[in-house]
Amino acid sequence: MAADAHPVLSIVEGFFLRWLAAIALVFGTYNPTEYCYLSWVRQADKQQLPYMIFIGLLIVMGYAIFFRAAKQSLGLWGVGLLVLFFGSAIWSLTHLGVLDLQNHNLFLYVTLLTLATIMSIGLDWSIIRRAISGQLDVE
Q: What average pLDDT score do residues 52-75 get?
A: 94
DSSP letter (8 states) at residue 35: -
Give me the helices (H) in the chain, please.
Answer: 7-29, 37-43, 49-95, 104-133
Q: At what angle do helices 7-29 and 49-95 cross, to 10 degrees?
A: 110
* Whole-structure pTM value: 0.83
Predicted pLDDT of residue 13? 86
Tell me if 1 is assigned to some domain. Answer: no
Instruction: Determine what percent of the chain is predicted with pLDDT higher than 90.
Output: 69
Domain contains 107:
yes
pLDDT in tens, 60-69: 999 999 999 9
Whether 139 maps to a domain, the answer reads: no
CA distances (Å), origin 94, targets 58, 75, 107, 111, 131: 35, 29, 11, 13, 34
- Non-local CB neighbours of 71 within 8 Å, separated by 6+ positions: 79, 122
Q: Does 15 reside within a domain? A: yes
Q: Is residue 74 part of a domain?
A: yes
Confidence of residue 29 (pLDDT cuts 50, 70, 90): very high
The structural domain count of the chain equals 1
**Domain assignment of residue 108, given as a range:** 7-133
In a domain, 106, yes or no: yes
Enter the DSSP assignment of 44. Answer: -
| 3-state secondary structure labels for all residues of 80-116 | HHHHHHHHHHHHHHHHCCCCCCCCHHHHHHHHHHHHH
Q: How confident is the model at residue 18 (pLDDT cuts 50, 70, 90)?
A: very high
Residue 59 belongs to a domain = yes
Note the pLDDT of residue 24: 97
Distance separating alpha carbons of residues 8 and 28, to the nearest angstrom: 30
Considering the domain boundaries, does residue 48 fall inside one?
yes
pLDDT at 1 over 60: no
d(CA 118, CA 112): 10
